[in-house]
Chains A and B, each alone.
Chain A
């Protein structure tokens, strides 16, 4: 049984991998080679040259700074009609977004509805929102978590992001209704798994 990357990184960084791991690495040529490779990669990362020269943005930066100074020094008087007008505009935008959901260029995946007619889809959307709310209501992740748990959480979050992205570009990629249904189903399954892992994390901390 060889040392894991996690153990080798711990050994490399602060020697916190444990005496048994350190002893194994001393004896095992393969683990020593992996550790050397890690060191080599880190050294190579540190010696990478700058990728590109900086763009000359001084004029833009200076203009923005001057603009900010000018707006600070200018007297600020808000017209009396501005607040009601802004409120009315917000209501109008909300109404338009509600009725033009499918035409939005970059819709929010959490609220997007590709073909809102189907009942099954509605249920998946509702379940997706319910699980999102549940996750949002959970306590923050504990400061100390098992690395594998953290990896699982990160994996699930990555996969949810990927599903969100595909749903986001559904219109551009010509996603069919049944394909969208599968993605929403996958999203709900992933969220369910994430809730289960986060719940287990919470329980572990409580005990």
Chain B
């Protein structure tokens, strides 16, 4: 079903009707004929097309539901109590309701990325034309692995991406419809639909990112990309400061362009939070990354920004109130987030600037990115001189306020991490600001404590003040997002990954809702970099990795290269660049193993699941987008570990290593069904501690296809981490050692003793050519 427009362009046509110049005619769409790869079995899959594949996975990894709410309140029959074996008025069960809510979360996440991609694509087509070529990565033929795999089309221009995106949009409507009252009723079918939403999400991510790479001059998969600065200290406060927040780079691009065209970078700083910051730095390395999304309140309250420009996703919806608090205006730039502001898109820029500078309006909505560029720069230059008038609370003032604390504990009860805020406030009342400073690296910046405080204390400001000596100068280098992984890199490492000699790929992605601060992400990254895993990262996690230094003052970006190879630390970029991480796994199956890619989802996923030791880690997963990104990983057979807050996604997908019958695969050479042990043991897993997560990451990197050498390497890491953190040998080694040669040489005696106690028998666990898809068996016995 690969399809393309028939396009006829005529420079000049003379006819009886007259003379036409520059005539273009488009007639429907035709199949692409020049792609020699045969069309696979599942082009543009519908909601049910890959259901049987999903059920294979979900039969092995059954959901353990943890209802976040015992009620359903989606229709007027309700609220319905679904506790235990009760059913709602529509007949729905608790299990189905939990998976239904997860499906809705996935649809929100995937729709958000798809809407982002749509805005990006439409705008770029307007700017660069529909036939702008998709040149997205050096040394690369497979420019869009997700689009090729899912849709069965080979995109060459922006126009081709429209086909993929239209498909995503159509399918998302189908998925949302399934969540209506009285539609789907089976929890596993809801889960399958969530997987479908995840798959669509990665197509949308890919569309958004390759469109911007191809047209905006972002790095094309280059390992040695430029570095930029991250942190409060990266912004020069002597200049006018524009703070951009969100995920869609387009308005910021025009701000940067305006600064460049008018040679104003010497007078104006542009610093970003969250993925817009990543993409700004991919566009122009003079743009600064202030920090992750959780720093919105922190940075605004610092009084440094002179103007806030918001685009879309993960914004604080009270940004207008916050901006008012420091006396600066806001420019909203997306119809998805209008914030109640008047649409001034069609007004004269200077009139808008005048209204903003004079404070006649708190902010404006401007949908045209080019106009945003002009208005933002002109406004910030006029507002900045007023910054001196803004004063943050002094320590003395905070101490005085803190004396009034009622000891009600509401701040602690409101805090997602139960941080000892009240104790810190009481210490501040005594003039001791250290406890407040100690909260700074642990605080997720949500501000719930402030909402809960009956006295309305600005507790985020208190914490900022406690840590101000440290934070105002903090500055860390970070490699800008490099975008895709090149085909040549895949060729270089494919064999070592598939045979397990590179122990795995660890993808540290996602938001900043950490249980105990972002330093844990850097800790995980360093652990696996030292162990010669390939560590890939994006979004807020990529930022938090930058913020830990060793004794010599170096951070991980300074210590490890950006090459996609063992011991490489690869920052792909923003959320939408996550598609390149899963895209790399797809390309291993296609480029290294030469499995057909085109519309061949099940076979490629089966390959990745059984052979590619990739593990996703979203330690601070917060959003619905994170849910859909994870679901896209699951359908590809990639397990995902989340932090404790990730348990709030309502269920884990857990394997049962004690049930041998769950771990049977086909040997593709013979068709025999054989036992391969619980690898990978789980598909979605919330860890309680970072130490538990690290052990689990090492364990989840094992795959049935590992060679003995590869399995020995992986076991070595698993055992070493387990011994370090659990103080003993793992009690399940007999499930992972297939033959004596799998045993890490240096631990052989110790492990043999453990295996003997467990009644281990050599060769009980098979080493087949593994597949869980019967049709992929090449020869039947």
Q: Do A and B originate from a single complex?
A: no
